Chains A and B, each alone.
Chain A
Amino acid sequence: GAVVSQHPSWVICKSGTSVKIECRSLDFQATTMFWYRQFPKQSLMLMATSNEGSKATYEQGVEKDKFLINHASLTLSTLTVTSAHPEDSSFYICSAQRDDFSTDTQYFGPGTRLTVL
């Protein structure tokens, strides 16, 4: 149990276009999901906390107008990279926090590799 999926697993797009990444908790409900970004040879960087039914909380330095987050349901959060540029190329990972108390950790998705040409 406790599976989190991401779609797509990889995407290549042209500079200036927008890309949407989905994060789904497949077998549990998650009021809270997190979006991370990983640069090569660097740690995961928390970008924002996504809460179902309310606005996302962005970390300092993360542009909320560029990285749009929508937590549409208890099992789905989306990250849209708007007007993508080559510097946005990265590995984006989401995680989901279970609503029940049977666990005490986050479950991570497999990640999405974004390449902006």
Chain B
Amino acid sequence: DQQVKQNSPSLSVQEGRISILNCDYTNSMFDYFLWYKKYPAEGPTFLISISSIKDKNEDGRFTVFLNKSAKHLSLHIVPSQPGDSAVYFCAASGNSYDKVIFGPGTSLSVIP
């Protein structure tokens, strides 16, 4: 059973617009969430994270929102750029030093 879900396998967005990537989780013991970005044939790279004590974390064009009651988080990218085209993995862990459970990923295409 998938503990971290990303129900949209792909997403296309126009350059300059906002990209919203969604993620749901089932395990209420998760208290730390991360987003990773992955280009083809490369390992994923860390993008942004959020602790369960927060509901928002912002880093430049990237903002992650967490709704614990709904077990839902989202990654907002604004404005979207063609270089943002990649697969985005949502991930969760029990604490920041535990193993990380990844979602299946969402492939984002930013159209120039």
Residues of A within 8 A of B (CB): 4, 6, 34, 36, 42-44, 46, 49, 91, 93, 95, 97, 104-111, 113
- In the complex, which residues of chain A have a beta carbon less than 8 angstroms from the beta carbon of B44? 44, 93, 108
Tell whether, in the assembled complex, residue A43 and residue B104 are in contact, meaning their CB atoms are under 8 Å apart.
yes
B20 at the interface (CB under 8 A from A): no
Query: A105-B49, A106-B46, A113-B41 given as contacts; is B89 within 8 A of A44 (CB)?
Result: yes
A interface majority secondary structure: strand
Instruction: From A36, A91, A106, name the one whose CB has the most chain B CB atoms within 10 angstroms.
Output: A106
- In the complex, which residues of chain A have a beta carbon less than 8 angstroms from the beta carbon of B103? 43
Residues of B within 8 A of A (CB): 32, 34, 36, 41-46, 49, 89, 96-97, 99-105
Tell whether, in the assembled complex, residue A105 and residue B43 are in contact, meaning their CB atoms are under 8 Å apart.
no
Complex Cα gap A107–B100 (Å): 12
Please provide the 6 A-B residue pairs with the shortest distance between their CB atoms, ordered closest to farther: A108-B43, A104-B96, A43-B104, A111-B43, A44-B102, A93-B43
Complex Cα gap A97–B43 (Å): 15
The one of B34, B42, B43, B101 that contacts A46, using a Cβ cutoff of 8 Å: B101
Instruction: From A44, A91, A97, A113, name the one whose CB has the most chain B CB atoms within 10 angstroms.
Output: A44
Instruction: From A34, A43, A109, name the one whose CB has the most chain B CB atoms within 10 angstroms.
Output: A43
Complex Cα gap A113–B43 (Å): 11
- In the complex, which residues of chain B have a beta carbon less than 8 angstroms from the beta carbon of A44? 44, 89, 102
CB distance from A59 to the nearest CB of B (A): 9
Tell whether, in the assembled complex, residue A43 and residue B105 are in contact, meaning their CB atoms are under 8 Å apart.
yes
- In the complex, which residues of chain B have a beta carbon less than 8 angstroms from the beta carbon of A93? 43-44
- In the complex, which residues of chain A have a beta carbon less than 8 angstroms from the beta carbon of B104? 42-43
- In the complex, which residues of chain B have a beta carbon less than 8 angstroms from the beta carbon of A34? 99-100
Tell whether, in the assembled complex, residue A110 and residue B43 are in contact, meaning their CB atoms are under 8 Å apart.
yes
- In the complex, which residues of chain A have a beta carbon less than 8 angstroms from the beta carbon of B43? 4, 6, 93, 95, 108-111
Query: A43-B105, A44-B89 given as contacts; is B100 within 8 A of A106 (CB)?
Result: yes
CB distance from B35 to the nearest CB of A (A): 11
